[in-house]
Structure 1
Amino acid sequence: MEEQDEIWELRLYVAGKTQRSVAALTNLQRYCEEHLKDKYVIEVIDLLVQPQLAEGDQILAIPTLVKKVPEPIRKIIGDLSNEEKVLVGLNIRPAGKL
């Protein structure tokens, strides 16, 4: 199936290395390794460095995760600590489950 080979493009918006930003990235990397092994790219955008990039994805709060590919585009706000909520939000089926 082509869908299985698709690379997930994830963009995480943060503002500096705050505790919430670091937690969000750590949680995201863990979920991706567990459920999307070798099928994902995470782009971290620090809005303290590149504030103009917030407008393109209409970022209103941070940290915010944006799933660009596969569509539909989805956004999740927060530190991503609730794994089930993140997986449902991104429409990821937990590894090993149908």
Structure 2
Amino acid sequence: MAKIHQLKLGARAKTSHSKPVHYLLRLFTSGTTPRSTKALRNLRKICETDLEGNYDLEVIDIYQEPGRATEFNIIAAPTLIKEEPLPTRRMVGDLSDTPKVLLSLAIARAK
């Protein structure tokens, strides 16, 4: 009979020899629109609660830096890109559904 193994996401899994996972996040916003402001507020809450300082967050306003939006193939804002750890993941929207954001970005929930 096959054994079933339960896998845990890496952000909270620590061994005596491993470091916490470090996240590299980029949030593309469209100025100070209500939706972009809400996305930034929601993302900061997720970072403070679930990433415990193990992240770098870059916020890019596509109105001020349109070349960056082209560089990263951004077609809608707000868009969040999780660059590290791999694989790269993207989400579009105000990030208000925290469990969905965590699942989509493969971030383990703080206990």
Instruction: Flag as ranges the 4+ runs of structure 1 deviating above 4 A.
Output: none
SS in 1 for 2:66: coil
Cα deviation, residue 56, structure 1: 1.9
Structure ID, larger Rg: 2
Alignment TM-score, normalising by the size of structure 2: 0.81
The answer for unaligned runs of 5 or more in structure 1 is none
Which secondary structure state, in structure 2, belongs to the residue aligned with residue 28 of structure 1? helix
Q: Which amino acid aligns with 1:92?
A: I
CA RMSD of aligned residues (A): 1.1
The CA distance in 1 between the partners of 2:79 and 2:92, in whole Å, is 4
Once the two structures are TM-superposed, the CA of residue 6 in structure 1 deviates from its matched residue by: 3.1
Instruction: Percent identity, please.
Output: 42
Q: Which runs of 5+ in 2 are unaligned?
A: 1-14
- The one-letter code of the counterpart of 1:18 is T
- Return the offset for 1:10: 0.3
Alignment of 1:1-98 (within 5 A): 1=15, 2=18, 4-96=19-111
What amino acid maps onto 1:48 in structure 2?
Y
